[in-house]
Structure 1
C-alpha cells in the first residue's frame, strides 16, 4: 500500500519525453483554469493565420508562419515587416512539459475504450493535426496507467475506512469470468463487491477454479 510520501512524489511526477515526438517543448503552465476541461474547437490553419497578420507593437503588416507542430498543438511565429518585432504563440497550455491537448486526447481514447488506431485515423482523414500511435502508447505507459493505479489504490483505502466506520458485518459477493469466445480459459478476472454499498472492492487476474477460492479469501482478508 502506498504511503503519503509516495503519493506526494507521484503527484509531482512528469513523464520523460525520451522516445516521443514531444521533445524540446518549453515548460509553460496555465494556472487560470484546468486546461483539460476547457472547450476545444477545430480551426482551419488559414483562419488561424489571419489572427497574426497585424504586428502587436506597431499594428502594421506581419508575416506569420507555423513554427512547430507537436501532436494537436501548433506554435506560430510572426514577424513584423516594418519594425522587425517577433513573437511566438502557442495554441495550448502545457501540463508539465507536454501539451495539454495531447494528454487529454490520449486519456479520452484510453478511458472511453476506443481503438487508438481507428480514432487517430478519423482525425487524420479530416485533416486534424493529431498524435502518433507511438506517442499515445508512451502516454499510456508512463502517465495514464500510473494515474489509474494511484486513483484505484486511493479508492480502496477510502472504502476500508468507510467499512471500519460502519461498524457492522459486511455483505460481500464475488464472481469470476474465466472464458469468452476466442480467449484462453486458463486465466480469468475475479471481482468482489460490497452488496450493500454497491462498491467494487477488488479485481484480480487469477487462474481458474482453485485460484478463485484463494482470491475470495485474500479479498475478504484485505477488507476485514
Structure 2
C-alpha cells in the first residue's frame, strides 16, 4: 500500500487508521546488520568492539568500546518506569486489542526469529491492566 493509499484511507480520523499511533514506526532489523553499525568507532574511525549487554523481549542494549577510550551504551527503545521496555508493553497491547491469541502470535514471532516477549510476560501485562482498571 502506498502512502497515497494510506492518506485516502485515513481521511476520517480513526485511532486504528493512524500509522503513527504509537508515536514512532518500528522496524525488523537483523542482529548482524545492527551490530555492524557499532563496528567502527565514531571518535577515531578505527575498529571497535561491541556486544549485547542486555536483552529482554524486544529490548536490546549494546555496549561499544574502542581502544582510543571511547565507550557508549545504546538501546533500541525507551524504558518506562519499573524498568519496563516500551515496545514490550506496546506488543502486549497490540496483541490484546487485536483480539489475536497471544500464544499463537508469540509462537509465530518466535518461529520467524523475532525477539519477543514470553506468554507469561503478556499475561503479566494483562494482569497489570486489569488491576489498573479496578482502581478507577
TM-score range, shorter chain: 0.7 to 0.9
1:51 maps to what in 2? 37
Partner Cα separation in structure 1 for residue 134 and residue 115 of structure 2: 30
1:123 maps to what in 2? 109
1:52, CA displacement in angstroms? Answer: 0.6
Unaligned runs of 5+ in 2: 1-19
Partner Cα separation in structure 1 for residue 42 and residue 22 of structure 2: 28
Q: Is the 8 A contact 1:35 1:93 kept in 2?
A: no
Give TM-score scaled by structure 1 length. Answer: 0.48
Unaligned runs of 5+ in 1: 1-33, 154-224
Helix, strand or coil for the counterpart of 2:37?
A: helix
2:68 maps to what in 1? 83
2:77 maps to what in 1? 92
Aligned Cα root-mean-square deviation (Å):
2.0
**Structure 1 residues 113, 148: closer, same or farther in 2, change over 3 A?**
farther
- Give aligned pairs, total: 116
Partner Cα separation in structure 1 for residue 34 and residue 102 of structure 2: 27
Q: Which has the higher strand share?
A: 1
Partner Cα separation in structure 2 for residue 136 and residue 110 of structure 1: 9
Which of these two proteins has the greater Rg computed from alpha carbons? 1
Helix, strand or coil for the counterpart of 2:49?
A: strand
Partner Cα separation in structure 1 for residue 23 and residue 127 of structure 2: 22
1:59, CA displacement in angstroms? Answer: 2.2
Partner Cα separation in structure 1 for residue 85 and residue 124 of structure 2: 14
**Structure 1 residues 148, 39: closer, same or farther in 2, change over 3 A?**
farther
Helix, strand or coil for the counterpart of 2:93?
A: helix
Give TM-score scaled by structure 2 length. Answer: 0.77
